[in-house]
Amino acid sequence: MMTKPHILAIPYPAQGHVIPTMELCLCLVKHGCKVTFVNTEFNHNRIIKSMSEADNVMNLVSVPDGLGVEEDRNDTKKLAEAVFKVVPGKVEALIRKINESDENRVSCVIADENLGWALDLAKKLGLQRVAFWTASAASLAMMFNVPKLVDDGIVGNNGEILKKQSIKLLPLMPDMNSTDLLWNCFSDPGLQRFVFDLAFKNNESVKAAEWIICNSSQVMENEVFAAYPKLIPIGPLLASNRLGKTSGHFWREDTDCLKWLDQQPLNSVIYVAFGSHTIFDMAEFQELALGLELTNRPFLWVVRQGFIEEAANPYPEGFIDRIRNRGRLVEWAPQQKVLAHPSLGCFLSHCGWNSTIEGVCNGLPFLCWPYFADQFFDKSYICDVWKTGLGFDRNENGIIGRQEIKNKVEQLFGDENFKARAVDLQAEVLSSVKRGGSSYQNFSSFVNWIKAKN
């Protein structure tokens, strides 16, 4: 009897990477593959707590992340250094153990592109090697161009930004300001250097990959895929595509907000969510709250644990009472279900790639408030390339003020072209994941390759 191909999948240990990697693996299970999914122990425990028994169709395993129980996983540098020191050895031991004891040996490793060491390890062990990029293809193309940015004198040898300028790799690709390059988003110089060096290392390691797959679609980034034929779009990978529910969440979702949405008028609600990493200071948080109040529209606002730095009660005085009849605050939302709800009118987002593609797949216009890294790129796609949203302007104190929020909400709702363009883009993107579409065909070729090598 033929054994199923056995894939070992390793996401980067952050929420925005785990969800799409799990989505990819659920699709592979559906196509007859066996998957062992490797999380760090810390993330593994959070996911197990937030998922139901029925979700578990793959083998979820964990390895230590190298940090003690009490240590802070929000310290990006500390976590990354520990992961890179400890996890490779643990993963190698895990693969060897499976392959000694199980006749269904691991034949393929799918690793987050940020974990280049996993591709090197797979090569050493003679396994199939796949790099998975969970963000936009444009942001990966930018990482591939880091050596050129150094040669051109825009970036120094340690990642320092030598010239503040706009970088445009291709005519139809979004602009990226040199100050928004991934590593420069961190204030700690040690972390900047770490991330910058990692880009060079990963650019080398990714050469060992036999496939580089992206959670994107030809239609969304046509020019990038034409210029980088090695990048293969197989997305957007969303639970709604497999008519399932999202897996891999670190927080339990508040599903009661869906009942609240049922009571709101069609296309009226502003959905406000900033992903799993964004942190606001008090002034920004209060302006956002007062801006939402000023719009006089219904809103659903996700305020997760750790979203605001200070204060036990950060809301403006009387705010909760005043918005009681039209505002809903939740700690974590079932985002794909929320975005698909007919009462939604727009998505006020940090423009992380997962949120971006979820908004696009539901035909929603955006209000863009990027926080760091590739989110500035995604904002540029939304506002300048697809023209399906608006950004906010900061005032002289560097803050996005309440009046600015109110004005942009009115502008977005007042111009039907934003919605019309969003619905056109939605149709094209959704057709790419349906039978015969470009992402569908790429994914089929990918699965056939895995099976043929088994």
Identify whether residues 306 and 368 lie together within a single domain: yes
CA separation for the pair 336, 359 (Å, rounded): 8
Identify whether residues 267 and 203 lie together within a single domain: no
pLDDT at 182: 86
Identify whether residues 329 and 389 lie together within a single domain: yes
Strands 176-177 and 166-167: antiparallel
Identify whether residues 386 and 266 lie together within a single domain: yes
Instruction: Answer whether 205's CB lies under 8 Å from 129's CB.
Output: no
In a domain, 251, yes or no: no
Identify the domain containing residue 160 by its residue range.
Answer: 139-196
Identify whether residues 113 and 162 lie together within a single domain: no
Identify whether residues 264 and 187 lie together within a single domain: no
Per-residue model confidence as pLDDT tens for the chain (454 residues): 468 899 999 999 988 999 999 999 999 999 999 999 999 999 999 888 887 654 567 899 999 988 888 888 877 788 888 888 999 999 999 999 999 987 889 999 999 999 999 999 999 999 999 999 999 999 999 999 999 999 999 999 999 999 999 998 888 888 888 988 888 888 888 888 988 999 999 999 999 999 999 999 999 999 999 999 999 999 999 877 777 777 888 888 999 999 999 999 999 999 999 998 888 999 999 999 999 999 999 999 999 988 887 667 889 999 999 999 999 999 999 999 999 999 999 999 999 999 999 999 999 999 999 998 889 989 999 999 999 999 999 999 999 999 999 999 999 999 999 999 999 999 999 999 999 999 999 999 999 999 997 7
In a domain, 155, yes or no: yes
CA separation for the pair 139, 144 (Å, rounded): 9
Identify whether residues 238 and 301 lie together within a single domain: no
Number of domains in the chain: 3
Instruction: Answer whether 51's CB lies under 8 Å from 23's CB.
Output: no
Identify whether residues 360 and 449 lie together within a single domain: no
Q: Which residues pair with 442 in a beta bridge?
A: none
CA separation for the pair 65, 79 (Å, rounded): 7
Identify whether residues 375 and 294 lie together within a single domain: yes
H-run or E-run covering 423: helix 416-433
In a domain, 250, yes or no: no
CA separation for the pair 362, 426 (Å, rounded): 6
Identify whether residues 285 and 396 lie together within a single domain: yes
Strands 59-63 and 344-349: unpaired
How many CA atoms lie within 13 Å of 380's alpha carbon, on the beta-carbon side? Answer: 20
In a domain, 171, yes or no: yes
CA separation for the pair 8, 107 (Å, rounded): 8
In a domain, 387, yes or no: yes
CA separation for the pair 77, 4 (Å, rounded): 38
pLDDT at 311: 64
CA separation for the pair 91, 8 (Å, rounded): 9
CA separation for the pair 73, 250 (Å, rounded): 13
- Annotate 62-127 with DSSP letters as a single string: EE--SS-TTS-TT-HHHHHHHHHHHHHHHHHHHHHHHHHH-SS-EEEEEEETT-HHHHHHHHHTT-
In a domain, 1, yes or no: no
Instruction: Answer whether 413's CB lies under 8 Å from 295's CB.
Output: no
pLDDT at 52: 62
Identify whether residues 15 and 128 lie together within a single domain: yes
In a domain, 419, yes or no: yes
Identify whether residues 233 and 306 lie together within a single domain: no
How many CA atoms lie within 13 Å of 225's alpha carbon, on the beta-carbon side? Answer: 19
Instruction: Answer whether 92's CB lies under 8 Å from 121's CB.
Output: yes
Instruction: Answer whether 418's CB lies under 8 Å from 412's CB.
Output: yes
In a domain, 45, yes or no: yes
Domain CATH number, residue 386: 3.40.50.2000
CB proximity list for 218: less than 8 A, separation 6 or greater: 225, 233, 432, 438, 439
Instruction: Answer whether 111's CB lies under 8 Å from 10's CB.
Output: yes
